[in-house]
Structure 1
Amino acid sequence: MNAKNEITGWQLFFIIVQTQIGIAILAMPTDISKVAKHDAWISMLLAGLLIQLVLLTYFFLLMKYPENTYFDMIEKCLGKFIGRTIAVLYLAYFMYVMVISLNGFEQVITSWIFEETPKWVVLLLYIIPAVYLARESVVILARFKMLISFLIPVLVFSLFWVYLSNPQYLYLFPIGGTGTDSIIKGVQPAIFALIGFEAFLFFGSYVKRDKAKNLKIASFGTLFVTVFYIFVIVTTQIFFYVDEMIIVPYPVLYIMKALEFTVVQRIDLIFLTIWMMIACSSFTSYLFLGANTLGRVFNQEKHTKMVYLIIIIVYGISFFPETETEVAEWTDLLMKISILFSIAIPFVILLISLFKKKNRKEQSA
């Protein structure tokens, strides 16, 4: 890995944040509230703490193999054939995430702005800038994510008006009133909303200098997103009663729509424009990872051509789920398999690496 492909801990921090905050932010409060009701924020807190534990797995792997990528680690632990097979499975996972992201974007845009615009046109609006960015080096990608990260505070401040306009804090009580079972069940959709934290594992291999220090800095990226999501959930829940929350598809947008100034109207469209850039940035991360994974499978040093190949396939597959019900079914499947690829497999690889190290010590003794 040459010098121009090295990133800093803070650049990795922003890559993680921009990868996690994507499509989920709009529907996330509703999805978790359907299960955990007014205790949805507790489910998000528990999910965030769980993800921090997962990051420890990533950290140990990256420190154990400081010069290797994640797929190099897998090949060292399981052999080249199994390693390549798992790489192909991860490629399919990245592409599936992109398909869900595209369809989620299309649903929001067509329901909120361009109701009569064909799906193929809306998808191109999302794809073109992503392709332009994903074909560049990881350094360019990281710099872009740092550049647009100033938009996140804009989203935060735009929601602060709720706290100044008769907030209903009683909607959050009684804390824990929905019961432990409901709160724990709400952790699953909360983890799904946080998907993208695996960027720490894949992009972490690009951090070369002061690796331990910079990886610790980057680990706060997921913590930042967790706090941000809790803020969004609490904000929506002091605006909407819980019975309203579970039927409002995009509560954040409805809050923005209710906000008007004398000079500026339809604040929701401004909010949506900012969200589109952040969501596209998340999509770009997966496109970049997918292209690099495909390049690895075919022994290609440059991933540029792979970007075009992957986006053509993803664009075509995105037309298969035609109705909202089908998109929801595909999304439910992603919710299940994401646990496998982001948590289970890395944990198994860490266990195998530790077992091999123990065996080597016993043999040398």
Structure 2
Amino acid sequence: MAKTNSLTNRQIFFLMTQTQIGFGILSLPNTLQATSKGDGWISVLMAGVMIQLVLIMLWLLLKRFPRLTYPEITQFVLGKQVGKFVNLIIYIYFIWAATFVLLQFTSIIEEHLLISTPYWVIGLLIILTCTYAAISDIRIIARFFGVISIVFLFLFGISFFSFLLPMELHHILPFGSSGLKNITLGSRDSMLTLLGFEVILFLYPLAEKKGTDFLKVISWANVFVTGLTAYFVLLCILIFSEAFLEEIKYPVIYFLRPLHFQMIDRIDLLFISIWIVPLAASIIIFIYLASKSLRLFTDNQMKRVLMNSLAVFLLFIAAPKDPESKQLYTTWIEYMSYLVLVAIPLLLLLCSRFLHKQIKEDSH
């Protein structure tokens, strides 16, 4: 593949990090209070290690089929008919993941920024914007993600203002006081926050550098996202009491609310406004990946993206918005992610080894 049509390591890094960093990090400190409490940051690090093991497994699979994407591998290994059925499951996962992020995205904006705006209007504006970006080629999306990665610098800069607030070190001491069982349970909740690494299943054929170079870049991306998530979780634990974290739905937003400056009165609203960018990036890539997972009715990429966006918006409108239903959506996404990102790739890897199915890397 010509280098002009390839993705550089930097572009792969930005694609993976922008997809992984989403809404989950905003509510994770609250979620972890039910399990690992003050050891929540340890749970995040443990989740990062687990995801690294999954990344190695996915890399081993992709390395056997360097010119094929995930949906193409399923049909190559399992056969055309079984492969199409598996691809349907993968397609449903990405459509539902995009809907799930859109639901959470709209909820955050409605609660904190556009209180009087109907939720469907917010959702429509978001999906239209994301559709416009998702129609583009993956290389254009990668360049766009590279440009907007500058928001991380703003997020880090804004978060440093939190050090002006009183922090209680005893909230995290002694380390491991929650017990190994609770820390492990917390790592399961953290893994849901770190989803998005599945984008690599579609990037390997386009990677300019494959093999161990590809593994290194996705590993560094995982380290970055895990570190960023653990950093915000640790900040919230140090600033807020345990009882407060159990009550506040989005602690990462609220830890900046007490700060007031002469020119900026609500720095937390500035933080939310910036965080909109990575949230939108997740929807963009999920809609794009859905269009690559299953070719329904048409081979035209633009038409598939438009159909997928319409499906996401209709599901968004039809989905109940009560807390119980949202928790049910979380459970669905969790179990579907285990199936699509762990069980199916592991099955493909074992079958390809057992059946001796492999495509050798092109020589350069």
Q: Give the TM-score normalised by the residue count of structure 2.
A: 0.93
1:354 counterpart letter in structure 2 = R
Matched with 1:136 is: 136
Q: Name the CA distance, whole Å, in 2 between partners of 1:5 and 1:358.
A: 27
Q: What does residue range 322-333 of structure 1 map to in structure 2 within 5 Å?
A: 322-333=321-332
Percent identity between matched residues is 31
**Displacement of 1:162 after TM fit?**
2.3
Displacement of 1:114: 1.8
Q: Which runs of 5+ in 2 are unaligned?
A: 359-364
**Count of paired positions:** 357
- Please name the residue that 1:14 is paired with: 14
| CA deviation vs aligned residue, 1:120-174 (integer Å, no higher than 9, x gap) | 1010221121111100000100000000001112112211222343321111111
Q: Deviations along 1:249-292, whole A, 9 cap, x unmatched?
A: 01111112222211111111111111111100111010110112
Residue 211 of structure 1 and its aligned partner are, at CA, apart by 4.7
1: CA distance between counterparts of 2:258 and 2:48?
Answer: 30
Distance in structure 1 (CA, Å) of the matches to 2:343 and 2:4: 32
Could you list the per-position Cα deviations for residues 52-75 of structure 1 after superposition, in whole angstroms to 9, with x for gaps in the alignment?
A: 011111111121111111122111
**Partner Cα separation in structure 1 for residue 126 and residue 26 of structure 2:** 17
Match of 2:309 in 1: 311
Aligned to 1:202: 202
- Aligned residue in 2 for 1:53: 53
Q: In 2, Cα distance between the equivalents of 1:97 and 1:192?
A: 11
2:71, 2:294 within 8 Å by CA — same for their partners in 1? Answer: no
What's the CA shift string for 1:64-96, capped at 9, x where partnerless?
A: 111111122111211111111111111100011
Please tell me the residue identity of whatever aligns with 2:138: V
Per the alignment, residue 251 of structure 2 pairs with 251
Q: Which amino acid in the other structure matches residue 309 of structure 1? A: M
- Structure 2 equivalent of residue 102 of structure 1: 102
Q: How far, CA to CA, are the matches of 1:205 and 1:39 in structure 2?
A: 39
Letter in 2 for 1:315: F
1:76 maps to 2:79: no
Normalising by structure 1, what TM-score? 0.93
Q: Deviations over 1:199-239 (max 9, x none)?
A: 12222332144554244223311111001100010011110
* Cα distance change of structure 1 residues 209 and 40 upon mapping to structure 2, 3 Å threshold: closer
Give 1:304's aligned amino acid: M
* Counterpart AA for 2:282: S
Q: Indicate conservation of the 8 Å contact 1:10/1:214, yes or no.
A: no
* 1:306 partner amino acid: R
Counterpart in 1 of 2:41?
41
Contact 1:39 1:177 in 2 (8 A): yes
Change (3 A) 1:204 1:210: closer
Answer with 26-35 or 49-58: which moved more: 26-35
List alignment gaps of at least 5 residues for structure 1. 360-365
CA RMSD, aligned part only? Answer: 1.8
Deviation at 1:189, TM superposition (A): 0.7
Aligned partner of residue 277 in structure 2, secondary structure: helix
